[in-house]
Amino acid sequence: MRKSFAQLAALCASVFVVGTSEYLVAGVLPEIGADLHVSQATAGQAVTAYALGVVIGGPVVTMLTGRLPRKGLAIALMLLFAAGSALSATATSFAMLLAGRVVCSLSHAAFLALALVTATSVVAREKTGAAIATVASGFTVATLLGVPLGSLLGHGAGWRAPFVALTVLTLVAVALLALVLPRRPAPTGRLRAELRVVTRKPVLLAVASTAVGFSGVAVVFTYIAPLLTRVCHFSAAAVSGLLLAYGAGSFLGNLAAGRLTDTSMSTTVRGVFGGLLVAAHALRWTGLAGAALSLAGLGLTYLVLPRTSAAEHTDDTAVTAAS
């Protein structure tokens, strides 16, 4: 039990570091634009470059490293992430910042997938939902604390300071992973078989549901700092507090979703999309586009998600195995 807890904690801490980097730029967008002499709209492309690196480079890195031992791969991916963060912190031009962001992004998707798979392997089967939620909560804690604190640090000490801190935290996470992760042999499956699984219709629909449903939130969050200061007329000092409030809601929602997923995955996911749809209409931060994207994501869930609860599925699987 203690070993499992330590492993989940180390994975969660590592995911926290990765998650903080993803939206760190959003909190210091004005400072980056002013220092590197680009507009805030252009500075926001640092988030786009990171996202493209995750979407395009992530699967490639995952396929190329699929036969490597899991512990060594996790450490190597985090070291790559540290290198990208250091490059971003020392960037003397916007192009150099983009390069650092892309380097970080190449390890993002591969490490996240590895962390989630590892999490499910260190707990009992009936606790996999909670284990995944625990590791994934690193992202919500990043939104709760990492991004707001990074924004606060960036306002006070310059936008480079959060990236320096991120580099240091990444190295600490590497030490934790080296200390607690067990050595596991590399997977023996074939790449062609994995590609067949990934290209199956249910998998593609699941990916599409996630991408479409979350894109409305991501578009707004990228430019959250200028949105709050220019449109909503909040002071720059208030941005960190508002990001903290947003992150608190994300953190509590993620923990609740993990518990509810073990009961009924379909109902939980549809409830999340329904909540996004209501928020888009009530807050009008995402407007018609955000509401439409959330509605599309909700519709796609009816094509991909099963109608049985997670508990029922587990029971059916156990009966099949016993017989």
For the stretch 140-149, pLDDT in tens is 788 778 888 8
Q: Which CATH number fits domain 2-186: 3.40.449.10, 3.90.1150.10, 3.60.15.10, 1.20.1250.20?
A: 1.20.1250.20
Q: Which two tokens stand for residue 315?
A: 């029971």
Q: Which of 67-71, 110-114, 118-122, 210-214 has the highest mean pLDDT?
A: 110-114
CA distance 246 to 227: 14
Prediction pTM value:
0.71
Tokens 């449903």 locate to 213
Q: Which two tokens stand for residue 122?
A: 């260190």
Cα 62 from chain centre: 16
Q: Mind listing the pLDDT tens digit for each residue in 9-61?
A: 889 899 999 988 887 888 888 889 899 999 888 888 888 888 888 888 877 88
Mean pLDDT for the chain overall: 76
Q: Name the packing angle between helices 94-121 and 29-36 (round to 10°).
A: 150
Query: Residue 191 corresponds to which amino acid?
Result: L
Question: Are 50 and 22 spatial neighbours (Cβ–Cβ below 8 Å)?
Answer: yes
Mean pLDDT is lowest, of 41-50, 79-88, 94-103, 298-307, for 298-307
**DSSP SS3 for 181:** coil
**Cα four-point dihedral sign 185, 68, 128, 174:** positive
Output the pLDDT for position 294: 55
Model confidence band, residue 204 (pLDDT cutoffs 50, 70, 90): confident
Q: Which of 37-41, 77-81, 107-111 has the highest mean pLDDT?
A: 77-81
DSSP 28: T
CA distance 102 to 243: 24
Q: Name the packing angle between helices 70-89 and 2-27 (round to 10°).
A: 30
Query: Residue 115 corresponds to which amino acid?
Result: A
DSSP 126: G
* Cα 46 to Cα 4, 50, 88, 143, distances in angstroms: 36, 6, 10, 18
CA distance 84 to 77: 11
Q: Which two tokens stand for residue 96?
A: 């150099």
Encode 168-194: b = buried (16+ Cβ within 10 Å), e = exposed.
ebbbebbebbeebbeeeeeeeeeeeee
For residue 243, the number of C-alpha atoms closer than 13 Å in the C-beta half-sphere is: 34
Q: What does the radius of gyration of the chain's CA atoms come to, in whole angstroms?
A: 20
Q: How many residues does the chain have?
A: 323
CA distance 267 to 307: 8
Which tops the pLDDT comparison, 251 or 18? 18
Q: What are phi and psi of 169, to 5 degrees?
A: -65, -35
